Amino acid sequence: MADPVIIGNATIYCGDCLEILPTLAADSMDSIVSDPPYGLAFMGKEWDHGVPGVHFWQEALRVAKPGAYLLAF
**CB–CB of 34/24 below 8 Å?**
no
Write the Ramachandran bin of 43: left for phi over 0, alpha for psi from -120 to 50, otherwise beta. Answer: left
| Per-residue pLDDT of the chain in tens (73 residues, 90 and over written 9) | 678 899 999 999 888 888 899 999 999 999 998 888 777 877 777 777 778 889 989 999 999 999 999 998 8
pTM above 0.95, yes or no: no
- CA 46 to CA 25: how far, in whole Å? 31
Residue 68 burial by Cβ neighbours in a 10 Å radius (0-12, 13-18, 19+): middle
Length of the chain, please?
Answer: 73
